[in-house]
Amino acid sequence: MEPLPETPLERTAERDVLWIFDLALIVKAFDGTMEALGGILVLLVPPAFFLRVVEFVTAGELANDPNDLVATTLREAARSFAVHPHYFISLYLVAHGIIKVALVAGIFAGKRIAYPLFMAALVIFASYEGYRGIVQHGVLLQALAIFDLILLALTYYEYRRRYPKPA
Protein backbone atom coordinates (compact mmCIF):
# COMPACT_ATOMS: atom_id res chain seq x y z
CA MET A 1 0.00 0.00 0.00
CA GLU A 2 1.36 3.36 -1.02
CA PRO A 3 1.56 6.12 1.65
CA LEU A 4 -0.84 9.00 1.29
CA PRO A 5 0.71 12.21 -0.03
CA GLU A 6 1.55 14.82 2.58
CA THR A 7 -0.93 17.60 2.97
CA PRO A 8 0.21 21.23 3.10
CA LEU A 9 -0.83 21.29 6.77
CA GLU A 10 1.46 18.33 7.58
CA ARG A 11 4.38 19.98 5.76
CA THR A 12 3.77 23.24 7.66
CA ALA A 13 3.57 21.42 11.00
CA GLU A 14 6.81 19.56 10.32
CA ARG A 15 8.53 22.78 9.24
CA ASP A 16 7.36 24.42 12.48
CA VAL A 17 8.70 21.52 14.58
CA LEU A 18 12.05 21.67 12.81
CA TRP A 19 12.20 25.46 13.27
CA ILE A 20 11.51 25.05 17.01
CA PHE A 21 14.19 22.33 17.16
CA ASP A 22 16.77 24.59 15.49
CA LEU A 23 15.83 27.50 17.77
CA ALA A 24 16.13 25.29 20.87
CA LEU A 25 19.56 24.11 19.68
CA ILE A 26 20.70 27.70 19.24
CA VAL A 27 19.46 28.54 22.75
CA LYS A 28 21.31 25.48 24.10
CA ALA A 29 24.53 26.48 22.29
CA PHE A 30 24.28 30.04 23.64
CA ASP A 31 23.60 28.66 27.12
CA GLY A 32 26.61 26.34 26.83
CA THR A 33 28.84 29.19 25.71
CA MET A 34 27.72 31.37 28.62
CA GLU A 35 28.25 28.48 31.07
CA ALA A 36 31.78 27.85 29.82
CA LEU A 37 32.64 31.55 30.00
CA GLY A 38 31.05 31.77 33.44
CA GLY A 39 33.11 28.79 34.58
CA ILE A 40 36.29 30.47 33.42
CA LEU A 41 35.21 33.68 35.16
CA VAL A 42 34.51 31.76 38.39
CA LEU A 43 38.02 30.35 38.23
CA LEU A 44 39.67 33.72 37.61
CA VAL A 45 37.74 35.92 40.05
CA PRO A 46 38.22 35.35 43.79
CA PRO A 47 35.05 34.14 45.56
CA ALA A 48 35.22 36.98 48.13
CA PHE A 49 34.85 39.48 45.27
CA PHE A 50 31.51 37.92 44.26
CA LEU A 51 30.33 38.18 47.86
CA ARG A 52 31.29 41.88 48.07
CA VAL A 53 29.56 42.66 44.76
CA VAL A 54 26.35 40.85 45.76
CA GLU A 55 26.33 42.54 49.17
CA PHE A 56 26.77 45.94 47.51
CA VAL A 57 24.04 45.29 44.93
CA THR A 58 21.52 43.96 47.45
CA ALA A 59 22.25 46.40 50.32
CA GLY A 60 19.66 48.99 49.27
CA GLU A 61 16.91 46.44 48.72
CA LEU A 62 17.57 44.71 52.04
CA ALA A 63 17.58 48.08 53.84
CA ASN A 64 14.02 48.65 52.54
CA ASP A 65 12.84 45.05 52.94
CA PRO A 66 15.06 42.74 55.03
CA ASN A 67 12.99 39.73 53.91
CA ASP A 68 13.24 40.36 50.15
CA LEU A 69 13.29 36.89 48.59
CA VAL A 70 15.56 37.68 45.63
CA ALA A 71 18.10 39.70 47.61
CA THR A 72 18.31 37.20 50.47
CA THR A 73 18.61 34.28 48.03
CA LEU A 74 21.40 36.05 46.15
CA ARG A 75 23.26 36.82 49.38
CA GLU A 76 22.92 33.25 50.63
CA ALA A 77 24.18 31.89 47.29
CA ALA A 78 27.14 34.30 47.32
CA ARG A 79 28.03 33.36 50.91
CA SER A 80 27.80 29.68 50.09
CA PHE A 81 30.00 30.20 47.04
CA ALA A 82 32.56 32.19 49.02
CA VAL A 83 33.06 29.46 51.62
CA HIS A 84 32.89 26.37 49.38
CA PRO A 85 35.63 25.42 46.94
CA HIS A 86 34.82 27.06 43.65
CA TYR A 87 37.00 24.77 41.55
CA PHE A 88 34.23 22.19 41.29
CA ILE A 89 31.75 24.84 40.20
CA SER A 90 34.19 26.14 37.61
CA LEU A 91 35.00 22.69 36.25
CA TYR A 92 31.32 21.75 36.13
CA LEU A 93 30.33 24.91 34.27
CA VAL A 94 33.18 24.68 31.74
CA ALA A 95 32.65 20.96 31.06
CA HIS A 96 28.86 21.30 30.91
CA GLY A 97 29.11 24.25 28.52
CA ILE A 98 31.71 22.67 26.23
CA ILE A 99 29.74 19.42 26.01
CA LYS A 100 26.58 21.31 25.03
CA VAL A 101 28.30 23.45 22.42
CA ALA A 102 30.22 20.51 20.91
CA LEU A 103 27.12 18.32 20.61
CA VAL A 104 24.98 21.11 19.15
CA ALA A 105 27.77 21.85 16.64
CA GLY A 106 27.84 18.15 15.77
CA ILE A 107 24.10 18.14 15.12
CA PHE A 108 24.30 21.25 12.95
CA ALA A 109 27.22 19.65 11.09
CA GLY A 110 25.04 16.60 10.39
CA LYS A 111 27.11 14.11 12.40
CA ARG A 112 24.91 11.10 13.08
CA ILE A 113 26.69 10.18 16.33
CA ALA A 114 25.95 13.63 17.78
CA TYR A 115 22.23 12.84 18.07
CA PRO A 116 22.43 9.86 20.48
CA LEU A 117 25.23 11.54 22.44
CA PHE A 118 23.19 14.73 22.73
CA MET A 119 20.13 12.75 23.82
CA ALA A 120 22.18 10.94 26.49
CA ALA A 121 23.58 14.26 27.72
CA LEU A 122 20.07 15.75 27.85
CA VAL A 123 18.85 12.82 29.97
CA ILE A 124 21.73 13.33 32.39
CA PHE A 125 21.32 17.13 32.48
CA ALA A 126 17.52 16.96 32.90
CA SER A 127 17.80 14.33 35.63
CA TYR A 128 20.29 16.40 37.59
CA GLU A 129 18.39 19.67 37.08
CA GLY A 130 15.09 18.03 38.00
CA TYR A 131 16.53 16.42 41.12
CA ARG A 132 18.22 19.63 42.29
CA GLY A 133 15.10 21.63 41.42
CA ILE A 134 12.91 19.37 43.55
CA VAL A 135 15.34 19.20 46.48
CA GLN A 136 16.00 22.96 46.48
CA HIS A 137 12.48 23.94 45.40
CA GLY A 138 14.12 25.74 42.49
CA VAL A 139 11.57 26.66 39.86
CA LEU A 140 14.28 27.72 37.41
CA LEU A 141 16.03 24.34 37.64
CA GLN A 142 12.70 22.56 37.17
CA ALA A 143 11.98 24.72 34.12
CA LEU A 144 15.42 23.90 32.69
CA ALA A 145 14.74 20.20 33.21
CA ILE A 146 11.44 20.52 31.34
CA PHE A 147 13.17 22.44 28.53
CA ASP A 148 15.80 19.68 28.26
CA LEU A 149 13.09 16.99 28.14
CA ILE A 150 11.23 18.84 25.38
CA LEU A 151 14.51 19.23 23.50
CA LEU A 152 15.14 15.51 24.03
CA ALA A 153 11.80 14.68 22.37
CA LEU A 154 12.54 17.07 19.48
CA THR A 155 16.02 15.60 19.05
CA TYR A 156 14.62 12.07 18.95
CA TYR A 157 12.01 13.15 16.39
CA GLU A 158 14.65 14.79 14.19
CA TYR A 159 17.01 11.80 14.55
CA ARG A 160 14.27 9.36 13.46
CA ARG A 161 13.30 11.68 10.60
CA ARG A 162 16.87 11.92 9.32
CA TYR A 163 17.90 8.33 10.03
CA PRO A 164 14.84 6.07 9.81
CA LYS A 165 15.18 2.52 11.08
CA PRO A 166 15.98 0.10 8.25
CA ALA A 167 13.04 -2.07 7.25
pLDDT in tens, 59-90: 887 788 888 888 888 888 777 766 666 777 78
Closest-CA residue to 118 (of 140, 75, 151, 141): 151
- 99 pLDDT above the threshold of 90: yes
Cα maximum dimension of the chain: 74
Which ranges constitute the DSSP H helices of 65-138? 69-83, 86-108, 114-135
Q: What is the mean pLDDT of residues 95-106?
A: 94
Residue 113, SS3 per DSSP: coil
Q: What is the pLDDT of residue 65?
A: 83
Those residues with Cβ within 8 angstroms of residue 123's Cβ, 6 or more apart along the chain or in another chain? 152
- 92 pLDDT above the threshold of 50: yes
Those residues with Cβ within 8 angstroms of residue 39's Cβ, 6 or more apart along the chain or in another chain? 89, 90, 91, 92, 93, 94, 95, 96, 97
pLDDT digits (tens, 9 = 90+) for 32-59: 999 999 889 888 887 778 778 888 888 8
pLDDT digits (tens, 9 = 90+) for 9-38: 667 877 888 899 999 999 999 999 999 998
Q: What is the pLDDT of residue 82?
A: 64
Can you give the C-alpha Rg of the chain in angstroms?
21
- How far from chain centre, in Å, is Cα 65? 32
Q: What is the pLDDT of residue 27?
A: 92
Domain ranges of the chain: 12-162
Residue 84, SS3 per DSSP: coil
pLDDT digits (tens, 9 = 90+) for 134-162: 988 888 889 989 999 999 999 999 999 88
Alpha carbon distance 123, 103 (integer Å): 14
